[in-house]
A and B are shown apart, each in its own frame.
Chain A
């Protein structure tokens, strides 16, 4: 297994750092998959994670100016590492001013992702910074757990309101209840509801719009055709998971969508430039 990459463009380095920082806010540990064309940050929806699934995809060409990767074998030409994204984020943040950043897979005291950079100084000499981020190699037999999740058969898909607004609402609701109901319909309306013994609060969002997935998208045939456009589809989720998702976002995405499978799962999709982030929050009873 071999990995050598160089980031030369400041904007690319910046964007990559922001993505990694967002990931670090969503989860403590995740899997980094490297293929000849892409990088993926993956969290499999296991019970241990509270059922949360995450899939973040970026193309390596938009990060690295030079990229050499040799996977485990020629048939399985990819590298699968378990990493703590916070370490990676910290390392990248300190080298923002570098002219070139090298990313390598190395073996020091343990397998590491080494971030090395030369930082410019006032004099003609340069400073060298090296960060060794420890990683765990994920064995091939476990790779199936980190495959791209299939698009769920959602009942409704709706564009999200501005994330900042949502975050403000959810932050306040969190003080009142542990669970929140997200519901949406086919005419671009979405509600966030909490209900306790003493109080129930609902925030209504209108005119959000529904993404045109097209007829061949997996809207299940029977029920959705007979579903009335105003009928709300809902899922009750742990409010902290939704809050965590909203807290982590650093940039306003160019597209933000939410797919709801009635009482099963909330599937959030963010698209920003060439980076896509999908987040699955399971519904609770």
Chain B
């Protein structure tokens, strides 16, 4: 993303000069071409190399979470503002009477010297408050700050779905043109045990570009050393592509993956999360694969990967391809 960002950085000059922006991939090259068609007949072309890589997927059916909070991004920002920027991890507690945030430190020598902060809110402050199980979840605050500042700048409400400690927590924002989800692992046990599990962001999704000929989606299989292919599962949250490819409801998608059965899906998520946290390459996980809707899908490596945004005229072919992944 570091190569892509500078191209879009100067919004004012883009608004003034650029008439059209086209993003495309030509199959023979490993390159993404971003073209700005500007005034006065000027065309700026940027070619960026990309590498296909495997991304981690978060298997998390957020609609099944027992606890749900919805609030304007501003409220959540106000909550986390009480904690220092250097605060790594934070514990969110939910009871029928209160939602509270505390900072979290792993046990250590300077345990005594840390400043502890706690803030709690009444459930009425939230736009939506659903409590299924009283829980304390501990997750990485730094990852959340990014999403919150994004949501706040767009004035979007944020939804939080979570369950008991150890199950992932899902933060999502939704707009007319985009849907963004951040799934974070949480510590299994709120009382810290010896080596704590690093919390990770798995497969953050990105907004789809309105003018793009392609749909943006995180695609890939879970990178797990000891996992068998059967354990690979697809992301449950889907992004509405601008071309209107069908959105598959998660339960329907589950049926397409014969080896995974419903009762195990959340535990697979845990295992996926655990394995994700232990694989060496899991520290930064984000992989995008641009796929033009009309392109031929004859890449050898792509054939192995489940595709989520189904090509509107090639559904059957994709289904068959997916089946072959798991046999």
Chain A residues with CB under 8 Å of chain B are: 84, 87, 90-91, 94, 108-110, 112, 121-134
By the criterion CB–CB under 8 Å, are A129 and B122 in contact? Answer: no
Measured between beta carbons, the chain B residues less than 8 angstroms from A128 are 119-120
Given A94-B81, A109-B112, A121 contacting B125 (CB threshold 8 A) = yes
Minimum Cβ distance to chain B for residue A273 (Å): 28
By the criterion CB–CB under 8 Å, are B124 and A130 in contact? Answer: no
What is the number of contacts between chain A and chain B, taking CB atoms within 8 Å? 52
Closest A residue to B114 by beta carbon equals: A134
In the bound complex, CA of A265 to CA of B211 (Å): 70
Minimum Cβ distance to chain A for residue B105 (Å): 10
Given A127-B120, A128-B120, A129-B82, A91 contacting B125 (CB threshold 8 A) = no
Measured between beta carbons, the chain B residues less than 8 angstroms from A91 are 115, 117
By the criterion CB–CB under 8 Å, are A125 and B125 in contact? Answer: yes
In the bound complex, CA of A91 to CA of B118 (Å): 11
Selected contact of A130 from candidates B81, B84, B119, B122, CB within 8 Å: B119
Measured between beta carbons, the chain A residues less than 8 angstroms from B114 are 134
Measured between beta carbons, the chain A residues less than 8 angstroms from B119 are 127-130
In the bound complex, CA of A134 to CA of B122 (Å): 27
5 A-B pairs with least C-beta separation:
A125-B122, A132-B116, A129-B119, A87-B115, A110-B112
Given A90-B84, A94-B82, A109 contacting B117 (CB threshold 8 A) = no
13 CB contacts below 8 A, A to B, read: A84-B113, A90-B84, A90-B115, A108-B116, A109-B111, A109-B112, A123-B122, A123-B125, A126-B122, A128-B120, A129-B117, A130-B119, A131-B117
Minimum Cβ distance to chain B for residue A111 (Å): 10
Residue B121 is within 8 A (CB to CB) of chain A in the complex = yes
In the bound complex, CA of A110 to CA of B121 (Å): 26
In the bound complex, CA of A125 to CA of B158 (Å): 21
Which of B114, B115, B116 has the most chain A CB within a 10 Å cutoff? B115
Measured between beta carbons, the chain B residues less than 8 angstroms from A94 are 81-82
In the bound complex, CA of A53 to CA of B82 (Å): 32
In the bound complex, CA of A132 to CA of B120 (Å): 15
Minimum Cβ distance to chain B for residue A268 (Å): 30
Minimum Cβ distance to chain A for residue B113 (Å): 6
In the bound complex, CA of A84 to CA of B114 (Å): 10
Measured between beta carbons, the chain A residues less than 8 angstroms from B112 are 109-110, 134
Chain B residues with CB under 8 Å of chain A are: 81-82, 84, 111-122, 124-125
Minimum Cβ distance to chain A for residue B181 (Å): 27
Measured between beta carbons, the chain A residues less than 8 angstroms from B118 are 129-130
Main secondary structure of the interface of A (DSSP, over half): mixed
Measured between beta carbons, the chain B residues less than 8 angstroms from A131 are 82, 115-117
By the criterion CB–CB under 8 Å, are B115 and A132 in contact? Answer: yes
Minimum Cβ distance to chain B for residue A125 (Å): 3
Minimum Cβ distance to chain A for residue B40 (Å): 46
Q: A90-B84, A109-B112 given; name 20 further pairs at CB < 8 Å.
A: A87-B115, A90-B115, A94-B81, A94-B82, A109-B116, A112-B116, A123-B122, A125-B121, A125-B125, A126-B122, A127-B121, A127-B125, A128-B119, A128-B120, A130-B118, A131-B82, A131-B116, A132-B116, A132-B117, A133-B115
Closest B residue to A132 by beta carbon equals: B116
Closest B residue to A129 by beta carbon equals: B119
In the bound complex, CA of A125 to CA of B125 (Å): 7
Closest A residue to B81 by beta carbon equals: A94
In the bound complex, CA of A131 to CA of B115 (Å): 7
In the bound complex, CA of A132 to CA of B83 (Å): 12
Measured between beta carbons, the chain B residues less than 8 angstroms from A126 are 122
In the bound complex, CA of A130 to CA of B121 (Å): 12
In the bound complex, CA of A133 to CA of B112 (Å): 10
Measured between beta carbons, the chain A residues less than 8 angstroms from B122 are 123, 125-127
Closest A residue to B119 by beta carbon equals: A129
Measured between beta carbons, the chain A residues less than 8 angstroms from B115 are 87, 90-91, 131-134
Closest B residue to A110 by beta carbon equals: B112
In the bound complex, CA of A90 to CA of B115 (Å): 10
Measured between beta carbons, the chain A residues less than 8 angstroms from B121 are 121, 125, 127
By the criterion CB–CB under 8 Å, are A125 and B124 in contact? Answer: yes
Closest A residue to B118 by beta carbon equals: A130
Measured between beta carbons, the chain B residues less than 8 angstroms from A133 are 115
In the bound complex, CA of A90 to CA of B122 (Å): 24
In the bound complex, CA of A125 to CA of B99 (Å): 12
Minimum Cβ distance to chain B for residue A162 (Å): 32
Measured between beta carbons, the chain A residues less than 8 angstroms from B81 are 94
Measured between beta carbons, the chain A residues less than 8 angstroms from B84 are 90
In the bound complex, CA of A109 to CA of B108 (Å): 13
Minimum Cβ distance to chain B for residue A123 (Å): 5
In the bound complex, CA of A122 to CA of B125 (Å): 8
Minimum Cβ distance to chain B for residue A200 (Å): 42
Which of B81, B82, B118, B121 has the most chain A CB within a 10 Å cutoff? B82
Measured between beta carbons, the chain B residues less than 8 angstroms from A125 are 121-122, 124-125
Closest B residue to A117 by beta carbon equals: B119
Closest B residue to A126 by beta carbon equals: B122
